[in-house]
Amino acid sequence: MTAADLAPVSHVDPFAVEVLTDPLPFQAALRDAGAVVHLAAHDLYAMGRYAEVRAALTDWQRFCSSAGVGLSNFRTEPPWRPPSLLLEADPPHHDAPRRVLAAILGPRALRRWRDRWFAAAVEHVDALLGTGGRPVEVDGMAALAEAFPLRVFPDAVGIAREGREHLLPYGEYLFNAFGPHNELVAAGAVAAGGHAAWVNAQCARETLADEGFGADIWAAADRGDLTVDQAPLVVRSLLSAGVDTTVHGLGWVLHGMATHPDQWDRYRRDPARRRVCFDEAVRWGSPVQTFFRTAEVDVPIGDTVVPEGSKILMYLGSANHDPRHWDGPQRFDLDRDPSGHVGFGFGLHQCVGQHVARLEADALLAALADRVERIEPAGDPVRRANNTMREWASLPLRLHPS
């Protein structure tokens, strides 16, 4: 009997549009089927329970990233772009880029941006609300979740103003490309080269501003902490992983607040809730739903063995909704302690920019909390299917000034 016979089998394609846009039922079935499940549609394994996902993300020795963190196996299929030095690397290659970026994006290093971002958020929300004191209808995605990160983050990296419209579609394609070669990838493929070329051009030392994360990365190369060949790829990681993820994290906060008005009250009245708010949204919405690992050896999991060389889907979104770990996981609840969620991943590949995302969210939400009494839906939200991200294309919102 082979390992594949032993693992429970699912014939659902997790990358079918109807699953991507409504993943919770499939996630529940996956968790209930077993700790690890064989997905026949793509001949791969999947983990959906919190305990196993978290343990596997931590176990870089047996679950490697350098064979790609998407469905494609770099050992048998060439990657569509030069692999990331962070996301798609294992120790020891991963060590130096991670060390450099963790220092640049650490909570203490970010203090120099805090006041600027909070001021920018105030300006942004004030402009949106106008002076009429009347409710304002906006698309929460375009006007807030996308606009605010695009207002502060590219400046903090230090990239050119012209061409920033490439950032979101680049990320959208990148996150689609972690999945199978389905129609979502095909739809973005033609334009992807242009987006990637623009992004790559932003990573050169001479095009980056003198102050910012990009300049800090090049300064690390000058110190010898990175090679000059590595520096542009590390800058690229910021532009790849630092925009869409934050945008959709913010989308989930806004959607949570619009659909749970008591939680917005809670947020506005109790400053202690602010510490957990963004992380609860990242748990609840899990904007990054999935990443893959590759088994370095035969890995026993429960009664099953995941064979060496297999791709394993780590279902972060499912782990964050696993009732074996979370009480009432489908509730967006600021009284919950979301500590330990895997929405930023876990282990040594855990999102190195998480403190940046939290600071952006804190700035925007603080400005909204001071000015907006109520956030309510102003129409049906529109989903967008993506092979990795769980995202809103549009969130019609009505903001009631306080």
CB of 54 to another protein, least distance (A): 11
Give 13 or 225: the residue with its C-beta nearer to another protein.
Answer: 225
Q: Rank residues 42 and 93 by Cβ distance to another protein and give the closer one.
A: 93
Q: What's the number of CA atoms in the CB half-sphere (13 Å) around residue 207?
A: 16
Residue with tokens 């991200």, as numbered in its chain: 389
Beta bridge partners of 299: 306
Q: What is the DSSP string of 102-131?
A: HHHTSTTTTHHHHHHHHHHHHHHHHHHH-S
Smallest gap from Cβ 311 to another protein, in A, equals 21
Residue 157 has which token pair? 């990296």
Q: How many Å apart are CA 237 and CA 230, to the nearest integer?
A: 11
CB of 205: closest distance to another protein in angstroms? 17
Closest CA to 386 of 148, 239, 241, 169: 169
Pick between residue 107 and residue 300 the one whose CB is nearest to another protein.
107
Indicate the residue among 355 and 371 with the shorter CB distance to another protein: 355
Structural contact between residues 112 and 222, judged by C-beta atoms closer than 8 angstroms: no
CB of 271 to another protein, least distance (A): 9
The footprint of another protein (CB under 8 A) covers 58-61, 91-93, 95-96, 99, 103, 106-108, 224-227, 230, 272-273, 275-276, 279, 337-341, 344, 346-348, 350, 354-355
Secondary structure (H, E, C), 262-277: HHHHHHHHCHHHHHHH
We find the least distance from the C-beta atom of residue 103 to another protein, in angstroms, to be 8
SS3 at position 333? coil
Shortest reach from residue 280's CB to another protein, in Å? 9
Query: How far is the C-alpha of 392 from the C-alpha of 273, rounded, in Å?
Result: 24
Residue placing its CB nearer to another protein in the complex, 79 or 347: 347
Is 61 or 330 the residue whose CB approaches another protein more closely?
61
